[in-house]
Amino acid sequence: MRKDKLLITVIALGLTWAGPIRAEDQPIEQQLIDAMSKVFGIHPGFRANHAKGIVAEGSFTGSREAAGLSRAVLFNGSPIPVTVRFSDSTGIPNIPDGSGNANPHGMAIKYHLPDGSETDMVINSLKFFPVATGEDFRDLLLALAASPPDAAKPTKFEQFAASHPSVPAAFATVATPDSFADEEYYGVNAFVFVNKAGARQAVRYQMAPERVVHLSASDAAKQPPNFLMDELPDRLKRGPVTFHLRAQLATAGDSTKDPTIPWPNDSKLVELGVLTIDKAVPDSSEEEKKLLFLPGALTEGIDKSDDPLIDNRDGSYALSFSRRNP
């Protein structure tokens, strides 16, 4: 197109001609996805992060204590069907499950509520998050992208980690499990429960398995590349897998907006209910393409907290979904 014609088009569309858009002027959600593509490469059809995963189904039954904390229909005590996707970290679709880079492993749960709506939880095996804002997460990813194995020391990533102590501290909390069923998953971001009386309580989720089994790094590295993805359907043929969903309750002084700061170990934990996974879906790789889990897809009785990561996550998950389903 000739330049004058382009200008007319710009004016006709009511746009302002500001020259090429700089990366730092893009919405943060797009900067985050673009930074992930720099670190992991572009893999059409796959998630920008947690690209490798497996889908299963089951149900959740809420406890009486949960119903006292939140009026969400999720906790009304009747069984709620769920779709669950377990995953490896990174946007690399063929990452070996035992690779250290596949930590933290993810668990995304979609609860199919009686009125036909859905609510999601998107949690992982980090006990707390390495950074507190979308901008810092972008910078962490860019530092990783600028630190190939042959980079001069200290690498950009080492420099970033040195100036953000929560980065090495958070990564030190993860290990490779022997099964997706033997891992504990954490919500990391805070949400707010609202009960029938209107009382508000900030919580962080924990999803506890019947037992946690972690492999040493050297044993993890010896496992077949798809050992976690293959093990789950095999295990489900022998019987269901159960988890206990718990809420860690905030008390005065616990930060709800900074997911790098764990709440005290002696915080009150309330059992919210039991999640039972009883079948693998027949065609997981087709099924997972259609699925979009959003941390901010909430139901009445559960609100977002002031943690800015929740909106950053919603925006970037939606963008990743639109890119993987063009």
- Which of 67/245 has CB closer to ligand HEM? 245
Residues lying near ligand HEM in the complex (CB under 6 A) are found at 32-33, 47-50, 53, 85, 87, 106-108, 122-124, 129, 134, 137, 187-189, 291-293, 309, 312-313, 316-317, 320-321, 324
Tokens of 100: 């250290």
> Which among 50, 105, 112, 164 is annotated as catalytic?
50
Q: Which residue lies nearer to ligand HEM by CB, 53 or 98? A: 53
CB of 47 to ligand HEM, least distance (A): 4
Which is closer to ligand HEM, CB of 214 or CB of 324?
324
Distance of CA 190 to the CA centre of its chain: 13
Confirm if 139 and 318 have CB atoms less than 8 A apart. Answer: no
- State the minimum distance, in angstroms, from the CB of residue 21 to ligand HEM: 20
CB of 303 to ligand HEM, least distance (A): 17
Q: CB–CB of 32/313 below 8 Å? A: no
Strands (E), 46-178: 53-62, 80-87, 106-112, 118-124
Place of tokens 């590295």: 221
Pairing of strands 118-124, 191-194: unpaired
Task: Give the CB-nearest residue to ligand HEM.
Answer: 106
In terms of CB distance, is 67 or 298 closer to ligand HEM? 298
Write down the residue that tokens 């959003």 correspond to: 294
Q: How far is the CB of 286 from ligand HEM (least distance, A)?
A: 14
Q: Rounded to whole angstroms, what are the CA distances from 252 to 24, 127, 189, 266?
A: 37, 20, 17, 14
Half-sphere exposure of 33 (CA within 13 A, CB side): 23
CB of 85 to ligand HEM, least distance (A): 4
Is 50 an annotated catalytic residue? yes
Q: 67 or 132, CB closer to ligand HEM?
A: 132
Long-range (24+ apart) CB contacts under 8 A made by 247-251 are: 247/66, 247/69, 247/193, 247/203, 247/204, 247/205, 247/206, 247/272, 248/203, 248/204, 248/205, 248/206, 249/201, 249/202, 249/203, 250/190, 250/201, 250/202, 250/203, 250/204
CA distances, 187 to each of 91, 122, 320 (Å): 20, 7, 20
The nearer residue to ligand HEM, 67 or 307, going by C-beta atoms, is 307
- Closest separation between CB of residue 216 and ligand HEM, Å? 24
C-alpha to C-alpha distance for 252 and 200, rounded to whole angstroms: 13
User: Which positions are catalytic?
Assistant: 50
